[in-house]
Amino acid sequence: MIPLIMRLKVKKNGRRFGLIFPVIIIWILLFALMIVVLPFAFLAALITWHRGPGKTILLVYPLIFSILFYLSGLYIEVGDQKSQFLISFP
């Protein structure tokens, strides 16, 4: 499932800052852009099919979808003793 929210936490010198972003808005804009670009991608794939990169161009769409679906559950935490940074897709 595509994650719908992203949690961001920053801790620096004892001060904490946290945000929750609705990334569903970004996904909607990305899908609209992908639909607009799709005919051009098909055309580029047909033109370059015999030279080689045509198959790679067609595989970009499934690659993007698989990356979006695997974002769910991603938890990135970076920091040291003074500062910390967290990005989470619950």
**Predicted TM-score (pTM) of this structure:** 0.68
The answer on pLDDT for 3 being more than 90 is no
Q: What is the pLDDT of residues 28-52, one digit of tens each?
A: 999 999 999 999 999 999 999 887 8
Q: Long-range CB contacts (< 8 A, 24+ apart) of 10-17?
A: 10/83, 10/84, 10/85, 10/86, 11/79, 11/83, 11/84, 11/85, 12/82, 12/83, 12/84, 13/82, 13/83
* Residue 9: burial class (beta carbons within 10 Å; 0-12, 13-18, 19+): middle
